[in-house]
A and B are shown apart, each in its own frame.
Chain A
Amino acid sequence: MVTTLERAREVAAAVPDPELPMLTLADLGILADVEEHDGAVTAWITPTYSGCPAVAEMAGDVARRLRAAGFDQVEVRLRIDPPWSSDRISAEGRRKLAEAGIAPPVLGARPAAGLLTLGPTRLAVTCPQCGSTDTEELSRFGSTACKSLWRCRSCREPFDRIKEI
């Protein structure tokens, strides 16, 4: 038998990300927790970057989906500690990103703390179009805060990549 809490978690976990709708907020590690007490549901979300403009959309989407599933008392709150990290993207999330032509972030890789890192980045990034690792970074900043812009030297296609943070 499915408990009310399990059902609430299931509904919240299925909410798609507004900017990457092929992934859910759960896939991205943005959905931090769901609690339920006597039918009242609280969902916590952890924004990716400080300036992510989609936070209000995500909070509204989670609340709306839960209400549509029959939960009358719904509250969505932000959880900013611990901060979001690209390591929170699930294995399923990484797979869906690659499938959508977006290179997933490398697990555990972060900008070096305070160290001088000049010169081009040398990360073994696989082209999500053709699978070649002969790729190069065009710009560390891309179409959204969480992406950088890359190019495959083999198939010549540009592609987005989720940055490590």
Chain B
Amino acid sequence: MTDDHVYLSLADAAGEPDGEARWAYGTGFADPLLGVDAAPPPGIDPADLAAYCLMLGDDALVLSQRLIQWITRAPELEEEVALANLGLDLLGQARRLLTRAGQLDGTGRNEDELAYWREDFEYRNVRLVELENGDFAQCVARLLLFATAREELYRRLADHADPVLAAVAALGVKELAYHREYAQSWTLRLGDGTAHSRERMQAALDALWPWLDELFTPHEVELRLGVDPSDLREPVLASLAKVLDEATLSLPEAAPRAYVNGRAGRHGVHTEALGPLLAELQVVARAHPGATW
């Protein structure tokens, strides 16, 4: 009964084989691509596709971790629930993308092995998602930049030749639309609010803007797969300009953050913020290898 949930066997053992026993959620989750055809699509290098799924999956995983760090710290209970929901969507996307990467890269690693047992230089997320949380305005600004760009990207990937990536994107684009709307409404509320909230929102945008360009800078894998992210630049900037104008905020003019010898997050070159984030994300799995609960 390998496809059964671990708790069901516990329920069976407790002598209620047909009972409606409900156990708390924990580990022992089924494969997030359980029974989905894993064959790589013809005409695409599986290694490239794996590397790409890892990039998108790491973006989602790392931003999800940053969002859940807001739990117990958000300004209102409703925002805490909202940020947790956003993080859960991103975590779900990350689980599917990391699982897909592990199916294709020849190592046979599952989502947990990829999430918990890679070092920071093996992570392929853009640096924008790993930066420290900062204040709530920075949380909103990062979400606005990321969600606007990711929704655009997912819309284009929804008809990708890889049916798994296409399916992740087709559901993801609907989820990201909610994330973008959330970030837009808070940008408007803070930007067009009091003088103080406007100042904080503008400062947050100014601080994060230099990291936006990395989302539009193609990696060689993306070019080989025909998913050039520089196509996103124009529609994303147009959307952001419209929101900032509506929110009485100025479009930041800061130059893009420099690469290190032509390398950045997609190549495993990160800021100092990623290491501590991963230490927190990975500590239980590394302290108790193979543990389930």
Q: Verify if B178 is at the interface (C-beta below 8 Å from A).
A: yes
Contacts of A85-139 to chain B: CB distance below 8 A: 85, 110-114, 116-119, 138-139
A142 to B163, CA, bound (A): 31
- How many chain A residues sit at the interface, stated as a range, is 35 or more
Asked if B90 and A51 make an inter-chain contact with CB atoms under 8 angstroms apart, the answer reads yes
Partner of A50, one of B8, B28, B81, B171: B171
A57 to B6, CA, bound (A): 9
Asked if B88 and A145 make an inter-chain contact with CB atoms under 8 angstroms apart, the answer reads yes
Contacts of B1-56 to chain A: CB distance below 8 A: 1, 3-5, 7-8, 17-18, 20, 22, 25, 28-30, 32-36
Main secondary structure on chain A at its contact with chain B? Answer: loop
Q: Verify if B102 is at the interface (C-beta below 8 Å from A).
A: no
Asked if A113 and B177 make an inter-chain contact with CB atoms under 8 angstroms apart, the answer reads yes
Q: Verify if B286 is at the interface (C-beta below 8 Å from A).
A: no
Asked if B171 and A84 make an inter-chain contact with CB atoms under 8 angstroms apart, the answer reads yes
Stretch of A1-9, A23-31, A75-83 at the chain-chain interface: A75-83
With known contacts A76-B34, A114-B239, A140–B82 Cβ distance under 8 A: yes
Residues of B within 8 A of A140 (CB): 82, 178, 181-182
Q: Verify if A34 is at the interface (C-beta below 8 Å from B).
A: no
1/0 contact trace for A139-159 toward B, CB 8 Å? 111110100010000000000
Asked if B175 and A165 make an inter-chain contact with CB atoms under 8 angstroms apart, the answer reads yes
Asked if B155 and A113 make an inter-chain contact with CB atoms under 8 angstroms apart, the answer reads yes
Asked if B246 and A81 make an inter-chain contact with CB atoms under 8 angstroms apart, the answer reads no
Partner of A59, one of B5, B81, B242: B5
Which of B88, B173, B174 counts the most A-chain CB atoms under 10 A from its CB? B174
Shortest CB-to-CB span from B115 to chain A, Å, is: 14
Question: Which residue from chain A places its CB closest to the CB of B96 in the assembled complex?
Answer: A50
Shortest CB-to-CB span from A88 to chain B, Å, is: 13
Q: Verify if B167 is at the interface (C-beta below 8 Å from A).
A: yes
Asked if B181 and A49 make an inter-chain contact with CB atoms under 8 angstroms apart, the answer reads no
Question: Which residue from chain B places its CB closest to the CB of A61 in the assembled complex?
Answer: B8
Contacts of A39-65 to chain B: CB distance below 8 A: 44, 49-57, 59-61, 63-64
Asked if A50 and B168 make an inter-chain contact with CB atoms under 8 angstroms apart, the answer reads yes
Residues of A within 8 A of B7 (CB): 57, 60
Measured CB to CB, the residues of B under 8 A from A are 1, 3-5, 7-8, 17-18, 20, 22, 25, 28-30, 32-36, 78, 81-82, 84-86, 88-93, 95-96, 151-152, 155, 163-164, 166-168, 170-175, 177-178, 181-182, 184-185, 188, 235, 239, 242-243, 246
In the complex, the 10 A-B pairs of residues with the closest C-beta atoms, listed nearest first: A77-B35, A51-B92, A50-B92, A111-B177, A83-B171, A60-B5, A51-B88, A141-B82, A141-B85, A81-B167
Measured CB to CB, the residues of A under 8 A from B are 16, 18, 21, 44, 49-57, 59-61, 63-64, 68, 75-85, 110-114, 116-119, 138-143, 145, 149, 163, 165
